[in-house]
Structure 1
Amino acid sequence: MVGRVRNMVIVLTLALMPLFLRAIEVGQVRELAARHNVTSILVFGDSSVDPGNNNVLRTIMKANFPPYGKDFFNGRPTGRFCDGRLPTDFIADAIGYKRFVPAFLDSNSKPLDLLHGASFASAASGYDDLTANLSNVLPISQQLEYLMHYKILLRKLVGEKRTNDIIRNAVFILSMGTNDFLQNYFLHSVRSEQFSLLGYQNYLVSCMSRHIEALHRQGATRMVAVGVPPLGCMPLVKTIMDKTTCVESYNKAASYFNSRMQQKLATLRTSLGMKIAYVDAYGIVEDAVNHPMKYDLEETSKGCCGTGTVEYGDSCKGLSTCTDPSKYVFWDAVHPTEKMYRIIADEALKSLSDELVS
């Protein structure tokens, strides 16, 4: 039993290890991945992990145009709401399968490109299906349905047994929740009339639980769940609320949700027998905002695109950007820079390791 637990610690730690990690060389990372049979990375969520699935949807929630992708390979926009790569891309690169995780709906992706992982995530989605429906993007229920399509594709490619092995040894990553608050509860009246803020937070946790249970039924045994970042520190939120510092009420909503989320994850670890790790995105971003010099950052109050105060997605299209995004926490008024995503990956590894081996 001790040996199995130790092996899972290695596997889950490995799953969050970015390419640039100082403590362990890339060669060691890839050796560990092979030794512990990490087969693939399967990603579900919102714009924090969507590499371009929204490109094929009839929605305005897209980022497949400049200046997005400015620091991606060949400086090309892919649909990632960032200047470069996402945390999941660094994971794939570190393990050694690919330099980035492909979008499942990308028509340019061949079956072999998806063998070691895919992202089903959709920008503007959330734990609450209504959140996705408001923006005409993929709700988590649809993302789970695409997982079944993915398994059919794998069976045709490698057969039933190998498909089952791939799914069983995959690392599932779940990253969403921000839009449930910012684009749903705090903006539209449907949920706010149905639920108090506390009630809605509990509702989201119950939705998350059902989604994880559904993933478990489809074969998931390893899960990495990412908490909601400090919503009140986003430039857009500060602009709307006419604040120069982080909006405390929004941060409290995110913090309480994260607490309830962690409690539910602890229950699911026992009831489902899954290995579930939690990533404290809130603490990581908050620390970078409060102590930028610690991370070689300079600008924490605005994004790199346009004025950096309100622009994101379509409103960022074609605008000029800051000279050096690596000095910024935020790329646009909502989303982090590639540099910040690197920091999130690095710090997530440290906190995850402490939690699992202490």
Structure 2
Amino acid sequence: MGDRGTGSEGERGAQPQPQKPTMSDVAKAAGVSLSSVSRVFLGQKKVSQATRRKVLAVAEDIGYVPNPFGHRRGQKDDRTIGLLLRDADNPAYGALFSSLHHVAQKRGWELATMTVNTGKQDDYQVELLHQLLGMKVAGLIVATGDLPSSALEPFMLRVPILRICTPEPDRLVHAVSYDSAAAGAELARLVLEAGHTRIAVVRTCSDISLPEWTNATSAIGTIREAGLEPFIVDVRNDAGADYILPLVQSGAVSVVMCPSDRRQVGFIELFEKSGLSVPGDVSVTGCDGLLPGSEVMGLTTYRWPVERVAETALSQIIDIIGRFGTPNNRLSPVSITIGGELIPGRTLAQVAGE
């Protein structure tokens, strides 16, 4: 076979197709925020005429076309809800996806779904919300765990929005979420009751996953209330292994609390590869209870009530859609948290006389 670097003149002369401009490109070229660009294309008045003219001129200049699906469907689809979902490969989000679709179908609704991979991608998520809006959906459900409320505000005058699974501390957006704070507190109490005093808590940064950050922060608070100071390992998309492993090997830590079961399994694998037994040498806890085989593995975790959250979220968004544009739409945003179930497992050992 020939070398990959050789070929005909036509092959060598072929150029890669240029990427289509995005809303982020418009914001950067116009020197304005992404939310300002969103407001312009949503037709909202909270933008000065000067900014509006600049954004539209830049969009035309670079060839950006908003709402690529908008011309395909002229009328709002009164029985379709847009769903923006994070990382469907993650069992926690995969289970949520299945439950939401099941509940929607049972109630005679459809979900138009778009997904984003793990990682901080606010600009891309906003782009996808615009695409869903262009499909003339009756409402939007956002299940990504990291998109700030400020990015959702520009859409709220155009369509009902409900955030799911993620706490909404500012109460700006309707929200139905897992009780991440209760999960962290209950897991911490379980660890303390097992006799552990040398505790490490892995905390995902809030801009990566607010539920995981809330879970870990609540656990830290509960441990401190017991008069102990945990080792806090703040992480983004990394696992924190370079910091945690030496702590465990030196004996400074007897238990590692993880904000998700994927992270818990990752640490179990790391420890076993390093010649450490779980829970003989170190205990590990996680959260979500949704990994396939988690009960067989004996994971110590807190199981999210996926079906209850899906049922509640669909009931709420359908109700919000029904009163959108009426005086009742001005009621305070819905804020519902739903607790799950603590699952004691074999990965947490009892420690005597620490």
Coarse TM-score class (shorter-chain normalised): 0.3 to 0.5
Larger radius of gyration: 2
TM-score of the pair, normalised by structure 2: 0.32
Greater RCO (Cα-Cα under 8 Å, separation 6 or more)? 1
Which structure has greater strand proportion? Answer: 2
* TM-score of the pair, normalised by structure 1: 0.32
Larger helix proportion of the pair: 1
